[in-house]
Amino acid sequence: MLVDEGVAGTRPAHIDLNFGCPVPKVTRKGGGSALPWRRILFRDIVRSAVRAAKDVPVTVKTRIGIDADHVTYLDAGRTAQDEGVAAITLHGRTADQLYSGTADWSPIARLVEAVDIPVLGNGDIWEADDALRMVAETGCAGVVIGRGCLGRPWLFGDLAAAFSGTPRRCLPTMAEVAAIMHRHATLLSQEQGEVHGCTDFRKHVAWYLKGFSVGSDTRRALAMVSGLDELAELLAAIPDQPYPVAVLGAPRGRTSPPRPVALPEGWLADRDDPRPPAGAELEVSGG
């Protein structure tokens, strides 16, 4: 195992096993949301992780299944519980749905009834009130945020306020968002170097600016920014304006139509085959 010198000796709060990723480069190797179908392999991986982690809690994230004909979440939840997992997160979509349509929260409620460990809900939580509604409708112990926080890191403050019973919600002005954007790029630059950090930041620009009135030339320039001073100059030229409340509750991030899941050859034939597919054990994966 390779250990980064910067994190050697530190202790993680928990270790999360992500069996929810639906992207083809992951599922075609038998990983992500494809893996729970192979229930013995899934059990063995979870068991090994829990034992190796010792007193560090292990959590699991999964989807409803591969598709409507290959549902796995109840088996996966019970197996995870039996192997000592501390909590399980369920995304309310099958793998073939990717991020299309509307998440179905009813399986989250069924999983809550099926296991004794905490169940965390995931899928289409765009605002803090969505989280409150999910907990009320499903009985889940908490929520996991994915696309909802893209360009909106203050969502977590809203969630903390909502769960504490406070009605306050953050609606930052454009000037406040600009300051957050620059801080975001600065932190990336400190970690990766300025050029790489600003390049990495580009993908966040459209999410931060969603709904704001910003000229196309400025948006294009921000999407090609390569330095912090350049970023600051471009942001300073955007007129201050109130938060665009019209975008509240709207989906953010990736959307795509449903499509068949890319799987290893013969993957669905035997659920009890414990062998990982050939080529699955890579040092670096896309998951």
List the catalytic residues. Answer: 21
Q: Kindly list the distances between the CA atom of residue 46 and the CA atoms of 11, 43, 54, 185, 215, in Å, as whole numbers in the listed order.
A: 20, 5, 12, 36, 49
Provide the CA 40 distance to its chain's centre, in angstroms: 25
Query: Do 92 and 61 form a contact (C-beta atoms < 8 A)?
Result: no
Burial class (CB within 10 angstroms; exposed 0-12, middle 13-18, buried 19+) of 220: exposed
244: phi then psi, degrees, rounded to nearest 5: -75, 90
Give the integer Cα–Cα distance in Å for 249 and 78.
33
Q: Left if phi > 0, otherwise alpha if psi is -120 to 50, otherwise beta: which for 165?
A: left
CA atoms within 13 A on the CB side of 164: 9
Per DSSP bridges, beta strands 142-144 and 119-122 are parallel
Are 92 and 137 spatial neighbours (Cβ–Cβ below 8 Å)? no
What CA–CA distance (Å, rounded) separates 136 from 152? 24
User: For 34, which DSSP code?
Assistant: G
Are 30 and 279 in contact by the 8 Å Cβ rule? The answer is no
3-state secondary structure of 36: helix
CB 88 within 8 A of CB 116: no
State the burial class of residue 69 (Cβ atoms within 10 Å of its Cβ: 0-12, 13-18, 19+): exposed
